[in-house]
Structure 1
């Protein structure tokens, strides 16, 4: 017998609805403020275009696109969706494209840092703003194409409640979102982060300034990885749990609690919209200082090791 987790039968559903309505307002406000400041600095204050600047602006654009969907999400949580199926499909497409665009942009930034720290000689050859722009363009093309294909071929959408799953059968693409959209980037991000930290800590520092630069870079990289895991791990665990529960015809009690977990985890994932600005902009000055100093150190050490 199908169960409807959005029907109000669960006594915790009303509390969850109130939580969603109140919690998204500060996230939306903080996201607008931090991303507007970051966009202003990266577009107007910095004079030199670098590949890092391209990736940062791409991440800001992605996060701002996510923020655009928040008012409609709040409307959907507060009342029955009556704005049309087309708008709902468009908003959900914008949401999912930019969610995974953010994930993969963060991953690309980690790869860029890994090559710059681990292989500084090679980094001089492949790193450039045009190449970074091409990488970002390819990512946008891939995700938009996948989203269009899924939208045109899927019959799983019901738009009585937009941004909320109302069907009781599993989404076939749930495993793809979990494995390719999260697990793969997490593995790459973790590998790059651990290798960078290992490389930095393994180098002999010539001065106290060098040692402080290493500590700054390690703290920033560690913070980026922790924020990524906190934001995106719970929601993908929720997607996987919901897929398993619906595939095995679990009880309504189990499905309803997974449904509530997914909504709370989605909120945590959406907090990434303003946490990105903190992690990648407000620490950018310190990282640039450490990065520039470390590149010079590693460049000299590699030159001496490979005369």
Structure 2
């Protein structure tokens, strides 16, 4: 038994490591996302499905960046008890930015899959109005889910506390963590990977190597990277920390390594704000290209295959 296991060394290290990670992410993320919003909303002025999704994603990233200065301050200083409502709002905004980004990237993958793999149905299923309605739905869903969940993160106490740290035991209850891992990460991950794989396969089957097809492949890989690289380690860390909280992992050395891993992974997960800039670049390039050029070529090719099959 290691009930007296101390994690003070990890907490001391993270005070400096968080600053080294958060400051560059905050500065570069703020510049890149502000530039993306400026490009999509002012310079392009072309509201396609892609630009609507990417604008929503940039807003999610800005929402994720906003609490970071408070998070850096909370690492080194205790907050008085009367600031607990403000802390809850900041924590909610932070998690809305994370899981809003996850679901928005999932919607982008589905939209791309429909456009490339089902070009005939895309005319009925895809439109700027549908994209806008989907983004609004994601915002409402994530806001409702996160607000309900974060309300259980803290107990009402009249003592000073560390915001963004040391959540209440109820916040680590099995129903909350299982729903978080399944619906917050695992489900969207399966959708993103499936849609990305099917879309890449369709592009490979088409046998086309036009600039539009190469741009689509770059968009797919950049979206997949922006999804898997930041969020996979952080949710693995949440799972491991959940096992610690449930008493399934009791070794002090393992607890120390898991504590360091989850805190570092959660810090690095914010790099999604910068990785999304890859998606912004390729989307902006796609919007400037001739409208529907690649989709028209895909439709023509599939129509030719259908005619050949009917003749046979």
- Specify which of 51, 58, 61 is matched with residue 60 of structure 1: 58
Q: What is the Cα deviation at residue 287 of structure 1?
A: 3.9
Deviation at 1:259, TM superposition (A): 1.6
Q: Is it true that 1:77 corresponds to 2:75 in the alignment?
A: yes
CA–CA separation in structure 2 for the residues paired with 1:24 and 1:152: 25
The corresponding residue for 2:200 is: 197
- Aligned ranges for residues 22-33 of structure 1 at < 5 Å? 22-33=20-31
What are the superposed Cα offsets for residues 213-253 of structure 1, whole Å, 9 maximum, x if unpaired?
33332233123212321110000000000111211252343
Aligned to 2:304: 304
Structure 1 pair 267/215, CA: closer, same or farther in 2 (3 Å)? Answer: same
The 1:252/1:290 distance shift into structure 2, 3 A limit, reads: farther
1:79 to 1:60, Cα distance in 2 relative to 1, 3 A: same
Report if the CA contact (8 A) 2:177-2:242 is conserved. yes
Tell me the CA shift for residue 86 of structure 1.
Answer: 0.4
Tell which deviates more after alignment, 164-173 or 78-87: 164-173
Does the 8 A contact of 1:197 with 1:218 survive in 2?
yes
Structure 2 CA distance for partners of 1:3 and 1:197, relative to 1, 3 Å: farther
> Which residue of structure 2 lines up, in the alignment, with residue 42 of structure 1?
40
CA distance in 2, matches of 1:55, 1:5: 45
Q: CA deviation at 1:38?
A: 0.2
- Measured in 2, the distance between the counterparts of 1:165 and 1:155 equals 8
Structure-2 separation of matches of 1:87 and 1:220: 38
Matched with 1:244 is 243
| Partners of 1:120 and 1:299 within 8 A in 2 | yes
Q: How many residues align?
A: 299
CA gap of 1:3–1:132, structure 2 versus 1, over 3 A, is farther
Post-superposition Cα deviations, 1:68-93, rounded to whole Å, max 9, x if no partner, equal 10110011012112361101111111
Does 2:204 match 1:187? Answer: no
Aligned counterparts, 1:200-211, within 5 A? 200-205=203-208, 210-211=209-210
Unaligned runs of 5+ in 1: none
Q: 1:5 to 1:297 in 2, by over 3 A?
A: farther
Structure 2, unaligned runs of 5 or more:
308-312
Q: CA deviation at 1:293?
A: 3.0
- Mapping 1:80-119, distance limit 5 Å: 80-82=78-80, 84-119=83-118
Q: CA RMSD in A?
A: 2.4
